[in-house]
């Protein structure tokens, strides 16, 4: 769907520009995935995502260990025989409540990871767009497209490294401001 919109946008752009010829268009392409993987901003966002993921995984593992301990007690017939009926019932209730809590944690974990992943990709998309616009202006290009929107292109039209360089400059400038404010 996005590619179809892009083609319509290009067609409209060509119509609006009058008798613009393909040779008059100076195009460039950027590999979004490479920008994300190799830029400082991409690494920063990835590290923040991984830290969140680790934090949530640690919380899930803690609850899982508690569940395992209670399950072992419930399976140990000698241990269960030594408990009063009230204590046995409390242990079973604790297991049930902890199981429900674990299920809620898992659901929250997946929702939070999906939201964080979406936010990370949106942030990186915005950063790539800003950097691509600066590269486009600097190189006097008419248009820079995501490489995924083209079936093929010559490597001389690839501006991925220039966009990554611009992203790194932006990242360094933003972090220098943050450090200066602290």
- Whole-angstrom Cα Rg for the chain: 27
The CATH T-level fold of domain 24-181 is Protein Binding, DinI Protein; Chain A (3.30.910)
| Annotated domain spans of the chain | 24-181
**Residues in Cβ contact with 46 at an 8 Å cutoff, skipping those fewer than 6 apart:** 36, 120
Digit-coded pLDDT (tens) for 160-177: 999 999 999 999 998 887
Average pLDDT over the chain, rounded to an integer: 85
Provide the pLDDT confidence category of residue 49 given band limits of 50, 70 and 90. very high
For residue 18, pLDDT over 60 is answered with no
Helix axes 40-75, 85-138, angle to 10 degrees: 170
Residue in the block written with tokens 């803690």 = 62
DSSP-assigned states of every residue in 70-114? HHHHHH-HHHHHTS-HHHHHHHHHHHHHHHHHHHHHHHHHHHHHH
CA 96/CA 63 separation, integer angstroms: 12
């Amino acid at each position: 769907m996005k590619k179809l919109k892009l083609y319509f946008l290009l067609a409209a752009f060509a119509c609006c520009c009058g008798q613009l010829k393909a040779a008059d268009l100076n195009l460039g392409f950027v590999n979004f995935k490479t920008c994300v993987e190799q830029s400082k901003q991409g690494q920063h966002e990835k590290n923040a995502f991984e830290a969140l993921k680790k934090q949530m995984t640690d919380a899930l593992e803690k609850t899982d260990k508690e569940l395992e301990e209670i399950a072992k007690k419930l399976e140990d017939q000698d241990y269960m025989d030594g408990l009063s009926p009230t204590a046995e019932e409390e242990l079973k209730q604790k297991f049930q409540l902890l199981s429900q809590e674990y299920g809620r944690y898992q659901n929250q974990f997946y929702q939070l990871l999906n939201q964080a992943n979406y936010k990370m990709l949106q942030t990186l998309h915005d950063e790539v767009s800003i950097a691509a616009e600066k590269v486009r202006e600097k190189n006097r290009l008419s248009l820079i497209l995501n490489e995924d929107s083209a079936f093929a292109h010559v490597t001389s039209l690839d501006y991925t490294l220039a966009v990554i360089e611009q992203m790194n400059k932006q990242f360094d400038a933003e972090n220098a401001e943050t450090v200066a404010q602290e």
